[in-house]
Structure 1
Amino acid sequence: MDAGTPVRVHAVHDAAGARRVVAVIETIWAGGAGIDANTIVALAHSGNYVVIAEHDGADVGAGLGFFGPPGNATLHSHIVGATERGAGRVIKHHQRAWCAERGVGSITWTFDPLVARNAWFNLSVLGARPVEYLVDHYGEMRDEINAGQPSDRILLTWPVAPAPDPPAPPDPELVIEIPADIEALRRTDPDAARAWRLRTRERFVAAFAAGLSATGFVRPAGGRGGAYTFAHQESR
């Protein structure tokens, strides 16, 4: 991405903008992500977060979020996707600023814990923290990225006002490794990918049940794959 022409994020208000959001989503998740332009228009019109990201006149990302229970002051970021490197980070920080302007205290979203680059971005770059492991959260998914595999997810929370001095993470009590490239493995060896899911699911569920908190994500020197670190909350 050319530093001289930054990604710009714009709110979506109408059907034309909603169709652009759908087009971006369908580009990233071939087969779509189960949301149509009509629903996007309704969400935008009712005051939720719907944006398109542009770079040099091309749509390079989209974001969609909606509010949680009344009085909870939480935005649930359902979809953030980018077709260009760096655009996703721009959308997330735009989302945070948008929430700050509206007095929203935190943002939540789910992600696939076996996708290493997303784990690194969410935990180590943004500083979001896992709060729950969700087994087969979305049920059967038909897009080309997720089809044929259990849709386990981790729920994250991200404070809108970041702590000025984040506490140092405690020494890990548990490490859960994930594969170098689960998406490639799903294409080449779906049975092995499913085995990774079931094996790590058991460990994640046990960790959360034991009161452990995910304190970070570490990557090897080559930058592929990685591992989650866990420790008890009281040791923070």
Structure 2
Amino acid sequence: MIAIRELHEIADLEEVLALFGAIWQFKPGGEPISVELMRAFAHAGNYVSGAYDGDKLVGASVGFRGGDSTLHSHVTGATTGRGIGFELKMHQRRWALDRGLERISWTYDPLVRRNAHFNLAKLGARPREYLPGFYGVMQDAINQGDEADRVLAVWDLSAPHVEAAARREPYRRELPPGTAVALADEGGRPAPGATDAETVLVAVPADIEGLRGLDPGTAKAWRHAVRDMLGGMLAEGRKVTGFHDKTYYIVEKA
């Protein structure tokens, strides 16, 4: 049984930082947050929580209040395979709703398929903005020098499809007739296609993290192709409405 609780004490926050370090293997000075900042966040009434399996910390999340009734989730990490990330997000959602907040936002790498599927299909969040090079060039073990493009995801906590997701009913957007593939995966490389349909699909690679180490050139090609295609469409005012077949962003004209 996983138990989630808010954290305030230095010893607990040191465990959180150690867990994040084990997940991302940051270089010294590259940590996304410090114990002192987590302590200040918690003391000021922001969100700092840990997920425990017995006495063992297996997940944690840190967020701060932003403008416009929003909680911004700065960093969340968990050991894999047990639904801990989902439980953390559900706890975060209840915490925000209890305080009168309407939405939670966070950033994620648009090239990581499992994160896109989790955020869009399992939680019902929606990409709102494409942020090229948001964190500069990252040097942790997972990102390996890649340009840190991010998508800003916004989770409208009381939307019907989000409430359904909280009941563990994943969101599945049916594709309308005439849907086109704007960016395909052909032999592991990005291949541009048609963009003029009302609904288009934008693929992301099967394993961008592996590509960064094995084929940096192809990883860079994917980064720029998705930046141009998905980022360009969001800048034009198109909306991402789902993630299809654990592979494609669904993008619709407004």
Confirm or deny a common fold (TM above 0.5): yes
Tell me how far apart the structure 2 counterparts of residues 92 and 183 of structure 1 sit (CA, whole Å): 23
Tell me how far apart the structure 1 counterparts of residues 175 and 155 of structure 2 sit (CA, whole Å): 19
- Supply the AA of the counterpart residue of 1:78: H
Aligned counterpart in structure 2 of residue 66 of structure 1, from 61, 64, 67? 64
- Supply the AA of the counterpart residue of 1:177: A
Percentage of pairs with the same residue: 41
Tell me how far apart the structure 1 counterparts of residues 127 and 142 of structure 2 sit (CA, whole Å): 22
Aligned counterpart in structure 2 of residue 30 of structure 1, from 25, 33, 47? 25
Aligned-CA RMSD value: 1.8
Indicate how the Cα distance of structure 1 residues 18 and 42 shifts in structure 2: closer, same or farther if over 3 A, else same.
same
In 1, are the aligned partners of 2:103 and 2:155 still within 8 Å (CA)?
A: yes
Tell me how far apart the structure 1 counterparts of residues 207 and 137 of structure 2 sit (CA, whole Å): 21
- Supply the AA of the counterpart residue of 1:21: V
Tell me by how many angstroms 1:170 deviates. 6.5
Tell me by how many angstroms 1:169 deviates. 5.9
Render the CA deviation track for 1:55-83: whole Å, top value 9, x for unaligned: 132111000000113xx110000111111
1:39 alignment counterpart: 37
Moved more, 128-137 or 81-90: 81-90
Moved more, 156-165 or 114-123: 156-165
Tell me by how many angstroms 1:134 deviates. 0.3
Is 1:115 aligned to residue 103 of structure 2?
no
Render the CA deviation track for 1:120-151: whole Å, top value 9, x for unaligned: 01001100011000000011222111131110
In 2, are the aligned partners of 1:61 and 1:84 still within 8 Å (CA)?
A: no
1:158 alignment counterpart: 155
Tell me by how many angstroms 1:112 deviates. 0.4
- Supply the AA of the counterpart residue of 1:60: V
2:77 alignment counterpart: 81
Tell me by how many angstroms 1:34 deviates. 2.5
Aligned to 1:35, the other structure's residue is in SS state coil
In 2, are the aligned partners of 1:13 and 1:45 still within 8 Å (CA)?
A: yes
Tell me how far apart the structure 1 counterparts of residues 32 and 139 of structure 2 sit (CA, whole Å): 9
Q: TM-score, normalised by structure 2?
A: 0.82
- Unaligned segments of structure 1, at least 5 residues: 1-5
2:87 alignment counterpart: 90
- Unaligned segments of structure 2, at least 5 residues: 165-170, 180-198
Tell me how far apart the structure 2 counterparts of residues 180 and 157 of structure 1 sit (CA, whole Å): 24
Tell me how far apart the structure 2 counterparts of residues 52 and 126 of structure 1 sit (CA, whole Å): 19
Tell me by how many angstroms 1:10 deviates. 1.1
Render the CA deviation track for 1:81-119: whole Å, top value 9, x for unaligned: 111321100000000000011001100001001000010
Moved more, 45-54 or 157-166: 157-166
- Supply the AA of the counterpart residue of 2:58: V
1:185 alignment counterpart: 211
1:3 alignment counterpart: none
1:230 alignment counterpart: 251
Render the CA deviation track for 1:40-60: whole Å, top value 9, x for unaligned: 111111111001111132111
Moved more, 122-131 or 207-216: 207-216
1:7 alignment counterpart: 2
In 1, are the aligned partners of 2:173 and 2:244 still within 8 Å (CA)?
A: no
Tell me by how many angstroms 1:35 deviates. 1.3
Tell me how far apart the structure 2 counterparts of residues 121 and 105 of structure 1 sit (CA, whole Å): 20
Tell me by how many angstroms 1:160 deviates. 1.8
- Supply the AA of the counterpart residue of 2:236: A
Indicate how the Cα distance of structure 1 residues 167 and 115 shifts in structure 2: closer, same or farther if over 3 A, else same.
closer
Is 1:144 aligned to residue 141 of structure 2?
yes
In 2, are the aligned partners of 1:109 and 1:156 still within 8 Å (CA)?
A: yes
Aligned to 2:64, the other structure's residue is in SS state strand
In 1, are the aligned partners of 2:173 and 2:242 still within 8 Å (CA)?
A: no
Q: TM-score, normalised by structure 1?
A: 0.88
